[in-house]
Structure 1
Amino acid sequence: MNDDALVALRGASYAYEDGPLVLSDLDFAIRPGRALALLGRNGSGKTTLMRLLSGGLRPRTGHLALDGVPVTYDRAGLTRLRTTVQLVLQDPDDQLFAASVAEDVSFGPVNLGLPRDEVAGRVAWALAALAISDLADRPTHLLSFGQRKRAAIAGAVALRPRVLILDEPTAGLDPEGQERLLDTLAGLRADGTTVVMATHDVDLALRWADDVALLTPSGPHLGPAAATLARADLLAQAGLRPAWGIAAGRLLRAQRLIEDDARGPRTAAELDAYAAALRGGEAAG
């Protein structure tokens, strides 16, 4: 367990009523400043893990710690946790309920009892951070799916959390919407927010994350993104296919087009660069 963990589950287990253990004797830490991707097949425990980390569920055994101090589940303890850790669900309609976007985003700060001016400032900042300031007065039911996703995230970041946990945030978005969201997350990280993302998209995890946690039947495997996602055995346990960049690198090595110790392409731009270099070498030959 990392001593510098912002949030950590220690020896935690959880089972839903009358069901088997979903997670057992789990040690899991979120470190500050790292982009962390959670990956695993449906039913692997990703949602349970996110709800435990954000206080929506309470471990049956073990405990959740915030800055090294065990979390209490009374009003004061949960307020402390939820102003530090925010979870945004996959379906924005599970979180949006107010008449307008601005009203929805203001809900959390208002419930913290903040002064009106500070609430207004947080709402304006969150809307700007998610690039939806022009939607402040728009009824939430008139938003597009991508706009609803951004509004739900704005409601979370208005609380100025140190950790933002996102459940499949790019699901249902077109490529342009995905890139806009990733740009937004980069901006939030630059402002000091640690971002955790659950996803089925191995290519996205390889491109975006510093670290990944693969949830497998033998437990979570946490490590640097590139090295962990290169483990075909772990990906198979997690029910995932290799990232296309890693697969392309293996193919290039098999064809002896790159050296065995060379890192293969991981993005479309890198693959284009490899292809251009190969064409240049063929022309020179």
Structure 2
Amino acid sequence: MTSPTTPTSPATPVVELVQAGFAYEDGPAVLSGVDFAVAEGRAIALLGRNGSGKTTLLRLLSGGLRRGSGSLLLDGAEVTYDRKGLTRLRTTVQLVVQDPDDQLFAASVGQDVSFGPMNLGLPEEEVRLRVREALEALDIVALEDRPTHLLSYGQRKRAAIAGAVAMRPRVLIMDEPTAGLDPHGQERLLDALARLRASGTTVVMATHDVDLALRWADEAAVLSPAGLRTGPVAELLGDDALLDAARLRRPWGTSVARLLRAHGLLAPDAPEPRTPEELDAWAAARPLATE
């Protein structure tokens, strides 16, 4: 799947909040002085406790909320909140909300996925192509004619993501996409996201699941009372003080790696096993201990 927009220089984030702040009406500031840049080709996990402002930050990035202060930049240019500016933003950045029932509204999966491309005024053949690509990317081609009210929860999640993917965004933003899914459903969704990343889509995922973040993301963005901190996922999720401040637990993989290194079983510069499967593979590759 290719993007209709010419990629920018790697030095220029696709979308960026600069010193952004936001408060809901008659309420305290939810975010203040936030700097958050989304670079092309990355997988970014946004983490924080419930109520930390993750959903608000995602909606600011996608234009669903208008920042109270600071700037929102798209390819380095200020986003305007008129029709032209928001159309430009939303053909580049697409948000998938946590509850798919807040996003699905058409009678069938195919009709729902086609809604965005049709609103762009695209020719019918182009709409059909985009719908097919999105359904294939999310592995739900067989559901194209299925009524949305007959879908399972996991199917509704993937159908909602397909609707965003049909817009061919360069950045796909998702709010707690694995919430409510059983382990098999989570794996199917992660496989679909891997296909999207392979096709060139940048993915930002809000989650409170530190194990998922460590396994899946290149970078992390952690919201705490001190503000937003960004960096390599293993580095941030290995910072106990930051995790305590954000009320997040230490990832399983980080704890295992520390134990192995403490016993001299894992070299300081060796990659840490981030899942039980990776730990099994690491153990299988080690020579058997001899008396």
The one-letter code of the counterpart of 2:247 is G
Distance 2:127 2:272 in 1: 48
Structure 2's unaligned 5+ residue stretches are 1-9
Shift of residue 276, structure 1, vs aligned partner:
4.1
C-alpha distance 278-131 of structure 1, shift in aligned 2 (>3 A): closer
Matched ranges for 1:65-104 at <5 A: 65-104=73-112
Matched ranges for 1:1-285 at <5 A: 3-259=11-267, 262-276=270-284, 280-281=288-289, 284-285=290-291
C-alpha distance 253-89 of structure 1, shift in aligned 2 (>3 A): same
Moved more, 49-58 or 183-192: 183-192
Shift of residue 227, structure 1, vs aligned partner:
1.2
Shift of residue 258, structure 1, vs aligned partner:
3.9
The one-letter code of the counterpart of 1:218 is A
Shift of residue 271, structure 1, vs aligned partner:
1.6
Partner SS, residue 195 of structure 1:
strand
C-alpha distance 161-274 of structure 1, shift in aligned 2 (>3 A): closer
Partner SS, residue 250 of structure 2:
coil
Shift of residue 101, structure 1, vs aligned partner:
0.5
Aligned length: 282
Distance 1:279 1:202 in 2: 31
RMSD of Structure 2 on Structure 1 (CA): 1.6
**1:66-108, Cα deviation, whole Å (9 max, x unpaired):** 0000000001111110010000011100000001111100110
The one-letter code of the counterpart of 1:21 is A
Distance 1:276 1:252 in 2: 15
Q: Which residue of 1 aligns with 2:5?
A: none
Partner SS, residue 288 of structure 2:
helix
User: How does the TM-score come out when normalised to structure 1?
Assistant: 0.95
Moved more, 116-125 or 90-99: 116-125
Shift of residue 260, structure 1, vs aligned partner:
5.2
Shift of residue 259, structure 1, vs aligned partner:
4.8
User: How does the TM-score come out when normalised to structure 2?
Assistant: 0.93
Shift of residue 253, structure 1, vs aligned partner:
3.2
List structure 1 runs of 4+ shifted beyond 6 angstroms: none
Partner SS, residue 215 of structure 1:
strand
The one-letter code of the counterpart of 1:82 is R
